[in-house]
Amino acid sequence: MRSDRREANRRYDKQRKDDPHWNFLRSREWRDIRRAHLQREPLCRHCKLSGHTKLAREVDHIKHPHGDYDLARDPTNLQSLCAPHHTKKTRGKPLIGVDASGRPIDPDHPWNRERGGGVG
């Protein structure tokens, strides 16, 4: 099982070796940026929106840089996320949760559409 996973990871890395963003994420520069960001914002941004406190383990690019190194380094384009929220975002699933009172933040959620949109 472990060797199968290792082989799958090796194939995945080989496919991405020419991706400039992937190479940046493996650089010492990114590790330094990531460490500094997690010190500034140690909690998961989306858990905080839901009224929870969870340490972030990942630093995520809000907008994918697609090789734009200025955008990749821009601190306003970074957010701290816990592993589950980062996985959801990376897989393209919405991260919109609930506010501290438990109401959905998403303005398109049926709860908010029935009440005229927005959380109040």
97, part of any domain:
no
Cut 0.85: pTM above it = no
Which of 104, 98, 119 is CA-nearest to residue 50?
98
> Across the strands, what pairs with 60?
79
For residue 119, the model assigns a pLDDT of 44
What DSSP letter does each residue of 11-72 carry, written as one string?
HHHHHHTT-HHHHHHTSHHHHHHHHHHHHH--B-HHHHHTT---B--EEEESS--TT-HHHH
52, part of any domain:
yes
Out of 10-24, 25-39, 46-60, 63-77, least confident range:
10-24
Tokens of residue 14, six digits: 């080989």
pLDDT at residue 64 is higher than 80: yes
Q: How far is CA 8 from CA 1, 4, 22, 50, 108, in A?
A: 11, 6, 17, 35, 38
For residue 37, the model assigns a pLDDT of 97
54, part of any domain:
yes
Q: Which residues contact 41 (CB under 8 A, 6 or more apart)?
A: 56, 79, 80
96, part of any domain:
no
18, part of any domain:
yes
Q: How many domains does the chain have?
A: 1
Residues 57 and 82 sit within 8 Å (Cβ to Cβ): yes
103, part of any domain:
no
Q: What is the pLDDT of residues 23-45, one digit of tens each?
A: 888 899 999 999 999 999 999 99
34, part of any domain:
yes
For residue 16, the model assigns a pLDDT of 61
* Residue 41 vs residue 116, higher pLDDT: 41
Provide the residue range defining the domain that includes 61.
Answer: 2-91
pLDDT at residue 51 is higher than 90: no
For residue 15, the model assigns a pLDDT of 64
Segment 90-102 mean pLDDT: 63
* Residue 13 vs residue 40, higher pLDDT: 40
77, part of any domain:
yes
